[in-house]
Amino acid sequence: MAESALPILILLCFMGGAVAVVLATLRRPAAAWPITMVAIAAAFGFSLRLLATVLDGGAVRHRLGGWAAPIGIELVVDGLGAFVICVVTGIALLVGCYARWAVRREIPERESTFFAMVLVLLLGLSGIVLTGDLFNLYVFFEISSLAAYALIAVGDKRAVVASFRYLVLGTLGASFYLLGIGFLYTLTGTLNMADAATLLPELAANPTLRVSVAMIVTGVGLKMAIFPMQGWLADAYTHASTTTTAIVAPIMTKVSAYTLIRVLGFVYGFDLASGRLPIGTALAWLSAAGIVVGSVMALAQTDVKRMLAYSSVAQVSYIGLGIGLAQPWALVGAVLHVLNHATMKCCLFLVTGTVQLATGGRTLDDYAGLGRRMPWTFGAFTLAALAMIGIPPTGGFFSKWYLTVGALEAGAGGLVVVLVGSGLLTAGYMFRLLERVWARPAPEMVMRPVGAAAIAPIVVLGIAVVVFGVINTWFVTRVIMPSLPGGMGGGVG
């Protein structure tokens, strides 16, 4: 494995950015946004560089403190990690462009702290993706969660209650994760992921091992909002401020999903994790239940932001379903859905935020006729909505296609029914909204102007949804398949 300084450089961008924002804004409060953008842009540049490096020469690592793996902590990045870190920093860059406009309108007096907190959130999420150590992952888990609690609390009046509920459940999840790695540590004596993976097969019959898998899946599942632990998500996303939702919703649950892939696929191995205790099957069926519950709840909402929040529950469950099936095509679909759902959900939440700030409207009826007033914004919105339903050639179609193929290959006919049925439900609530946007007459009202800097990221995301669909085979063959766990990629052919 090659040594590379790129992983730590990404983390240093965010660390340095957060400290610089706090110190620089003591004198010049306006410096917060430019510093944040420089930090995120640099991190995005390093991420792309990292992806290119990994695609050329295979996985890279950085040994912190110069200590070799089980003694010290190392950062390890393979194709999947580089892919996810690019998604995280890319989405952050676009939301960052948008944030200046939104934050000035929503929370002007707390701008500097807000941006510092966003950098801390990104540090936590990137750390989760990059680290190769189980306990270090817990530390980054807590950094990102702490930042998310604070960011979610900045919102309307009820946001603080939503944030407190999230804090209690999130800490419970993190504690279960900690307990899981505690059991793992008492069995193997190591915390390094690769080292644990070599030691674990000897312990396959140990009951504690199964408990540790169950604990870790429960803990990460709580953060990922897998049914029946999805309760915190809808309130948190609905009441948080625009920028918070647009940055937390697309990437936070996805990073948890990636954690699950890594722990189940690379540390335990899917065979070991499912041995004698059907963790994978349970995860798949719970995710299926989550898809149904999320879609039905979304259909029942009139508040658009809340509707999208419930749809997030369903969409994240697609990823959970792919991981639970542990079948190569399903995993391809799950990883591809990380990218696609991040792109489209970010676009949709940015639009709801823009509408809320420009017109004050939140409900379905408030959206009537807005398509003609904001053609660019709602053009992108429509593309993202079509991707949510899964209409070709948008990215959403392909990830669901791979998931369906995976479910068929695994012989889980019931899950195929759920996948198709949920597409119909999604079509139900999305077309209900699109009909109001485009087919109703434009309202007579005064709208606050929306800056070009706020519209540009939305349009970019709308185009990206389609582009990612068109070039999906590149992602699948070049990025995802070569780095599936346990040589599964070879089995896809």
Partner 1 sequence: MIETLVPRWPYVCTVVLMLVGLYGMLGKQNLVKKLIGLNVFQTAIILFFIVQAYKTGASVPIWDARLGAVADAYVNPIPHGLMLTAIVVSVAITGVALALLIRIHRNFGTLDEPELLDAMKRSP
Partner 2 sequence: MRVPTLAVLLATLVVMLAAAPGLAPFGDPTAPASGHVAGHYLEHAYHDAHTPNVVTVMIADYRSFDTLGETMVVFAAGLACALMLLPRGRRGRVPRFLHRKVNLIAEVIVRIMLPAVQIFAFYVIFHGHYSPGGGFQGGALLAASILLGRIVLGRSRSQAAFPTALGRPLGAIGFAVFAGIGLVGFAAGGAFLQYDRMPFALPPDMLRNWGILGIELGVAMAVMGTLVSIFDDLSVGGR
Decide: is 46 part of the binding site for partner 2 (CB under 8 A): no
The counts of H helices and E strands in the chain are 21, 3
Comparison of 185 and 376: residue with beta carbon closer to partner 2: 185
440 binds, among partner 2, partner 1, none (CB under 5 to 8 A by kind): none
| CB proximity list for 442: less than 8 A, separation 6 or greater | 369, 370, 372, 373
* Distance separating alpha carbons of residues 313 and 295, to the nearest angstrom: 8
State the DSSP code for 196: H
- Does 15 engage in binding with partner 2 (CB under 8 A)? yes
DSSP reduced 3-state for 3: strand
Scan for tokens 């892939």, then name that residue.
261
Q: Which does 347 bind (CB under 5 to 8 A by kind): partner 2, partner 1, none?
A: none
Name the residue nearer to partner 2 (CB basis): 113 or 363. Answer: 113
- Cβ neighbours around 432 below 10 Å, total: 12
Q: Quick check: 186 binds partner 2 (CB under 8 A)?
A: yes
Question: Smaller CB distance to partner 2: residue 276 or 432?
Answer: 276
Give the contacts of 96 (CB within 8 A, at least 6 positions apart).
36, 37, 40, 118
Q: Distance (Å, rounded) from C-alpha 56 to C-alpha 6?
A: 14
Residue 295 engages partner 2 in binding (rule: CB under 8 A): no
Candidates 41-49, 65-73, 284-292, 482-490: pick the segment binding partner 2 (CB under 8 A).
65-73
* Shortest separation between residue 464's beta carbon and partner 1, angstroms: 34
Any residues with CB less than 8 A from the CB of 278 and at least 6 apart, and which? none
Q: Which does 208 bind (CB under 5 to 8 A by kind): partner 1, partner 2, none?
A: partner 2
- Retrieve residue 322's tokens: 């792919």
Distance CA 48, CA 111 (A): 29
In sequence order, the 6+-apart residues with CB closer than 8 A to the CB of 118 are 36, 92, 96, 99, 147, 151, 243, 247
The binding site for partner 1 (CB under 8 A) comprises 135, 139, 142, 146, 149-150, 153, 157-158, 160-161, 163-164, 167-168, 171-172, 175, 178-179, 182, 185-186, 191
- Strands annotated E in 21-103: 60-63, 74-77
Q: Are 414 and 288 in contact (CB under 8 A)?
A: yes
Minimum CB distance to partner 2 smaller for 188 or for 356? 188
211 binds partner 2 (CB under 8 A): yes
Among 44, 46, 183, 401, binds partner 2 (CB under 8 A): 183
Residues 27/52, Cβ–Cβ less than 8 Å: no
Q: Which of 49, 63, 105, 373 binds partner 2 (CB under 8 A)?
A: 63
Q: How far is the CB of 242 from partner 2 (least distance, A)?
A: 16
Stretch that binds partner 2, among 113-121, 294-302, 328-336, 421-429 (CB under 8 A): 113-121
Give the residue, chosen from 56, 157, 207, 449, that forms a contact with partner 2 under the rule CB under 8 A: 207
Give the nearest distance from C-beta 205 to partner 1 in angstroms.
15
CA 424 to chain centre: 24
| Smallest separation (angstroms) from partner 1 to the CB of 11 | 17
Contact present, 43 and 126 (Cβ < 8 Å): yes
Residues found near partner 2 in the complex (CB under 8 A): 5, 8, 12, 15-16, 18-19, 22-23, 26, 62-67, 70-73, 109-110, 113-114, 116-117, 120, 123, 127, 135-136, 139-140, 142-143, 146-147, 149-151, 153-154, 160, 183, 185-191, 206-212, 214-215
